[in-house]
Amino acid sequence: MLVPGRIIGDAQNAGTVMKHWRIDDIAWDRFEAAKAAPEIVPLIKAASLVERNGREYAAYLCRVFANDDAMCDAVRQWAEEEVQHGNALAKWAQLADPKWDFQAARARFNAGYQLPHDTEGSIRGSRTGELIARCMVETGTSSYYTALGDACQEPVLKQLCRHIAADEFRHYKLFYDHMRRYQAQEHIGPARRVMIAAGRIGEGEDDELAYAYYCANEPESEPYVRTRCSAAYLSVAMRYYQFGHIQRGMGMTLKAVGLPTQGRFPAAAARMAWWLLDWRRARLSRLLTVRSPATASA
């Protein structure tokens, strides 16, 4: 089946020398199978498939930013970091589950999920909008890997998450800097900026992660049910956040849309986001209790 694509992704900094780590820098020999929490392994498998698609996103972004050579160079460099995230996460997943076939899961995912290759301009309506959406993705990934790195006990995954979280934060900075440059030309209004950011955050529950979770963890004989797969992924992923992660993510979000990052408003917004996360966690656990793979429907 083909799942209609949406863009998630990340990017890199024009003219900035990338700080690189390599997969061989990870202390893989320190892996401790007993500390690899079974509920984390499916998340890592799914994340590896999405991250590994970095070059596909770069192709889309280079069409959106055609004629901006500095941006395209940065995006291509960024994509290589995303691909490395995917390969490193897959390597960890294969240590935790030696029977898992990353290449087979990847082939299945790529056969069923397509990015909008036929799009010339940004699906966000402007280059500024595209970059705000990128900032939201990087906010999400930097928060997620930070939370996961803080929570997990397995030393190799902890090290890997910290490397990736640092990359994602730099990716945010890259997109933010370019967004400021385009905003000076395009003057996107505050309401529109907030709408774009909120829309992209909502897409965190879209088909891409759900389908990656399905391809990475469920047999092909099982029908793909987006709501079930999304709930299975998010109900575990959301457990690892602490208030500090949400607070930091809110600061990055507000900065990207040009709203104040100091004072009462950001503090109240972070508390509201934390409350919403709690509500979503409870709702997802109820959903999983009620729906079984055999009975759930889209």
Binding site residues, Fe ion, CB under 5 A: 10, 51, 82, 85, 168, 171
- Distance CA(287)–CA(232), nearest Å, equals 9
What letter would DSSP give residue 224?
A: P
Instruction: Indicate the residue among 82 and 208 with the shorter CB distance to Fe ion.
Output: 82
Q: How far out from the chain centre does Cα 106 lie?
A: 17
Tell me the residue number closest to Fe ion, measured at CB. Answer: 10
Place of tokens 């090290």: 159
Dihedral-angle region of residue 150 (phi above 0 means left; psi in -120 to 50 means alpha; beta otherwise) = alpha
Q: How far out from the chain centre does Cα 161 lie?
A: 13
- Distance CA(276)–CA(238), nearest Å, equals 11
Instruction: Indicate the residue among 68 and 82 with the shorter CB distance to Fe ion.
Output: 82
Beta bridge partners of 113: 3
Place of tokens 């694509």: 5
Residue 227 CB, nearest approach to Fe ion (Å) = 25
Residue 86 CB, nearest approach to Fe ion (Å) = 8
Instruction: Indicate the residue among 168 and 203 with the shorter CB distance to Fe ion.
Output: 168
Compute CA distances 68 → 18, 122, 182, 185, 268, whole Å: 19, 14, 11, 14, 38
Residue 117 CB, nearest approach to Fe ion (Å) = 21
Instruction: Indicate the residue among 216 and 269 with the shorter CB distance to Fe ion.
Output: 216
Residue 32 CB, nearest approach to Fe ion (Å) = 24
Contact 193, 214 (CB under 8 A): no
Return the structure tokens found at 158: 């902890």
Residue 170 CB, nearest approach to Fe ion (Å) = 8
Residue 138 CB, nearest approach to Fe ion (Å) = 5
Cβ-Cβ contacts under 8 Å for 244 (sequence gap 6 or more): none
Instruction: Indicate the residue among 106 and 171 with the shorter CB distance to Fe ion.
Output: 171
Residue 11 CB, nearest approach to Fe ion (Å) = 7
Q: Is 212 exposed, middle or buried (0-12, 13-18, 19+ CB in 10 A)?
A: buried
Instruction: Indicate the residue among 160 and 269 with the shorter CB distance to Fe ion.
Output: 160
Instruction: Indicate the residue among 159 and 228 with the shorter CB distance to Fe ion.
Output: 159
